[in-house]
Each structure stands twice: as structure tokens, then as C-alpha cells.
Amino acid sequence: MLIENTLVDDLKNAVTEGYAVKNTLSVRLVPPLFLLFLMVGCSKTPVESSQSPVEEKPSTVVVQSETVVEETDVIGDLQEPASLEDRFSYTYGYLLYSSMVQQKGFSDLEASYFAKGILDADEGQGFYTQEEMSQTLYEVQTKLLQIAQEEMEAISTANLEVAEDFLKTNEQRESVKVTDSGLQYEVLVEGGEGESPPLKRAS
């Protein structure tokens, strides 16, 4: 290399000219060493990246607002009817519902579904078919008959207890006579002498 050749030539010249090798090396090695340190120092210089720095953005929380659905009561918000047709419709519905809830078995009638049934009937489309509604009416009728039968049995039992209590109290009276079959009777007026009229069967 160029530096090595220069050093060799300088050593030859120094011996020939009578210079000390030590002094020659110290003088001649200063520029090459300076360049070497300079190159090493430059090689350690940080290289800037060609990519642009990424700017960090603060994290944000996205809050989705809920959709608010306003419920309206179509029937409850109706104003007082003015026309004859509207007044009759309201009056008939009022009286019909009032009379039904007073009857046995209709006390738990739900007004909301009652009104819903009327509205669906007006539109010609409902929850159930005609067969399903007939089955529902049959079940309600069976329930009402069962309730009526239970009420009649309760009334009969109560009447029987009242009758038995009356007979027990009535037989204690002196004027009351009791037959072997348990029949009780009382003679209010004694009959006169003579023949008794013949018994006639009711036709």
C-alpha cells in the first residue's frame, strides 16, 4: 500500500542520511495515524434514518350513543271524541268492558290485549287463526262451567247444613211430631167429627 511504501523509503533514506529510525517513525507516522483516527471517528457517526419519525397520537375512547326510541300510546293519547260515531265507539267499548269484568271468570280480563284484539280485528290480521281462537273460547267456557259447578256445590252444601240445623231445632218443639221416616209435622187445627174427604191425586 502507499503508506507502507512511503515508510519503507523513509527508513532507507534515514539510514543513509544518518537520522535515527525512532525519530523518523515518530515524525512520519503522525499524519497517517491522524487520518486513521479521523476515519474511525467518522465511521462511528450515527446515520440518520431515511424514514420520517412516526408521530404518536394520544389514544381516544369512542363512545357510541344509544338510540332512544320514544314510545307512544296510540290509544291512551286519544282526545275526547267529538263525532257521533266516535262517541258511540267509545261508549260501547266502555260499557262492554265494564259489564264483562263484573261477570264471573272475566275479572282478570286484560284491557291492553282486549284493545289489541279490537285493533287487529279492524285490520283483519291477528295473533291466532280462527281455529286457535275457537280453542281458546272452548277452554274459557270449560273453565267457567267448572267454576259455576263448584259454586253450585258450595251453595248446596251450605243449604243442606242450614236445613239440618233447622230440623234439629224444630223437633224439640212440643207441638211438632216426628214420624219414623224423620218427617216433621205440626197440627194447627184439630179436625171435626165425620168422614175425612177422599184423597185426590194431582193430575
What tens digit of pLDDT does each residue of 41-57 get?
A: 444 444 454 555 556 65
C-alpha distance across the termini of the chain, in Å: 162
The arithmetic mean of pLDDT across residues 98-104, rounded, is 84
- Read off φ and ψ for residue 178, nearest 5 degrees: -120, 130
What's residue 100's pLDDT? 86
Higher local confidence (pLDDT), 147 or 201: 147
- Tally Cβ neighbours within 10 Å of residue 92: 10
Rounded CA-CA distance 109/67 in Å is 35
The residue ranges of every structural domain in the chain are 2-43, 129-172
- Where are the alpha helices (H) located in the chain, listed in sequence order? 2-17, 21-28, 30-43, 84-101, 111-123, 130-170
**Alpha carbon 95 to chain centroid, angstroms:** 34
What does the pLDDT read at residue 188?
Answer: 84
pLDDT at 63: 63
Asked if 114 contacts 97 with a C-beta cutoff of 8 angstroms, the reply is yes
Q: Residue 24 has what DSSP assignment?
A: H
Q: What is the pLDDT of residue 76?
A: 74
70 vs 32, higher pLDDT: 70
Q: Which residue has the cell 397520537?
A: 57
The pTM of the full predicted model, rounded to 2 decimals, is 0.46
pLDDT above 80 (res 144): yes
pLDDT in tens, 11-32: 455 444 444 444 444 444 444 4
Question: Could you give the CA distance from residue 109 to residue 103 in angstroms, rounded to a whole number?
Answer: 10
